[in-house]
Structure 1
Amino acid sequence: MDFEGLIDVQRESFPPPFPSDLWWSKEQLVEHVSRFPEGALCAEIGGRLIGSMTGLIVNMADYGHSHSWETITDNGFIRNHDRSGDTLYVVDICVIPEYRKSGIGKWLMQTMYETVVHLQLERLLGGGRMPGYHRYAGEITPENYVSGVLAGKYSDPVLSFLLRCGRTPTGVAANYLEDEQSCGYAALMEWRNPFLAAD
């Protein structure tokens, strides 16, 4: 496994002001591929890694609506992965800048939706960064920002991408991630498994 290549993808995908200590470490990547290999995806072109996506299974009743990224992902180590859970939770998705808008991110997301269906989970859920929010933080609430992105009033590189992938906002989490651009907020975005029989 090319762990250094995956760390390079993180480095290219999340340049400063994103905190470099939030890039993957080899120890975290070892946990991802050993605990939940179906949730450790990567994309490559010509032998070069260009994107990755990581998830884990959780029981959302254990975490509630206002969780942080650190809490629900075990600081990115996913040692809290629970095969009996109901939700595939997105830890991270990234594509290096030169391959953005090429469909790679959407392909990774669709592959994770297939994992949700295959494992008969209720949903895919994750906190979406809101990197455009800092420009409006003095004027509007994060909830109003998410509503504005939904309505097409604002364009946000992360939230707009997640919406195009079929994800739906279910709320906003405060103190989610140490992220200046998002002012610490994240939009919780879900995709519900359409193939589960309703109770």
Structure 2
Amino acid sequence: MKRGGVVYKSEFQLYHEGRPFTVVVRNYTEADFDGLIQIQRECFPPPFPEDLWWSKEQLNSHVHFFPEGAICVEVDGEIAGSMTCLLVDFRPDDPPHTWEEITDNGFIRSHKPDGNTLYVVDISVKPASRKLGLGKLMMQAMYQTVVHLNLDRLLGGGRMPGFSRYASQMNAEEYVQKVVSGELKDPVVTFLLNCGRLPVRLEENYLEDEESLNWAALMEWRNPFKNKNIQINS
């Protein structure tokens, strides 16, 4: 199956508190770069390191190597969020990796056109727009890409920003288990669970992230059309 050349655009009306919004999920282009960098500033304020915000060089690399994995969401014509992915080869028993290693420091030159997994580099939504459910809309768009490209899964390392509050009481694995069971809520892990993603394993020293104590939960959504354990009788 030849991959590439997919142009994504989905437009619809969204309603929040009785007010209609025109929402468009589409591939981002060079014309969007300034808006995408502003989203990073708003989403990742200090103590998150500024050098981890997108640069125009990185964004150029995204649209060059894998434009299908570079999407944004507009609300009433204004960019309010973005999501970036690349293709990798992944097996659950692969060695641990960091965000820098698997994404080539965010430049995605590590993109493998014949990879089996759509890997999330970043997902960001402006704080003022988060009640609109835009993150889920972008995640659903990428699930459609997984199916369209006949991949095994969508995968990515989810930050665990609530962990630092509980680290003196439990380890990272216990924390994630409590989030999965619903005993605790985590701003990122709980969001990913609500999007249908499940933990595969934990990654230590995944990303410089004070709130998560550098931990991340590697979480996946598996392509339901590639589940070999399901038999359909006609």
Give the TM-score normalised by the residue count of structure 2: 0.82
Would the aligned equivalents of 1:169 and 1:188 in 2 still touch at CA under 8 Å? yes
Aligned length: 199
Q: CA, structure 1 residues 197+172, in 2 after alignment: closer, same or farther (shift >3 Å)?
A: closer
Aligned partner (choices 169, 183, 208) of residue 153 of structure 1: 183
Give me the whole-angstrom Cα distance separating, in 2, the residues matched to 1:61 and 1:124: 12
Q: Tell me the equivalent position of 1:140.
A: 170
SS at match of 1:157: coil
Alignment of 1:1-199 (within 5 A): 1-61=31-91, 64-196=94-226, 198=228
RMSD: 1.5
Cα distance in 1 between the residues matched to 2:68 and 2:197: 20
Deviation at 1:20, TM superposition (A): 1.0
Match of 2:11 in 1: none
Structure number with greater CO (CA < 8 Å, separation at least 6) is 1
The question of whether the paired residues in 2 share the 8 Å contact of 1:42 and 1:52 is answered with yes
The amino acid of 1:182's aligned partner reads: S
Shift of 1:28: 0.3
SS at match of 2:176: helix
Change (3 A) 1:61 1:152: closer
Structure whose CA Rg is larger = 2
**Aligned partners of 1:65 and 1:173 also within 8 Å:** no
SS of 1:195's partner is: helix
Q: CA deviation at 1:66?
A: 1.4
Compute the displacement of 1:25 (Å): 0.3
Q: Which runs of 5+ in 2 are unaligned?
A: 1-30, 230-234
TM-score of the two chains, using structure 1 as the length reference: 0.96
1:65–1:148 Cα change, 3 Å? farther
Residues 117 and 153 of structure 2 are in contact (CA less than 8 Å); yes or no, is this contact kept in structure 1?
yes
In structure 1, C-alpha distance between the alignment counterparts of 2:151 and 2:131, rounded to whole Å: 29
- The superposition leaves residues 27-61 of structure 1 with CA deviations (integer Å, 9 ceiling, x where unpaired) of 00001111111100001123211000000000115
Q: Deviations over 1:120-154 (max 9, x none)?
A: 00000000000000001122110100000011111
**Structure 1 unmatched runs, 5+:** none
* Contact 1:127–1:186 under 8 Å retained in 2: yes
Q: Alpha-carbon deviation of 1:197?
A: 5.4
* TM-fit CA distance, 1:169: 0.5
Deviation at 1:198, TM superposition (A): 1.8
C-alpha distance in 2 between matches for 1:111 and 1:127: 18
Q: Percent identity?
A: 61
User: What is aligned with 2:5?
Assistant: none
| Distance of 1:151 and 1:120 partners within structure 2 | 31
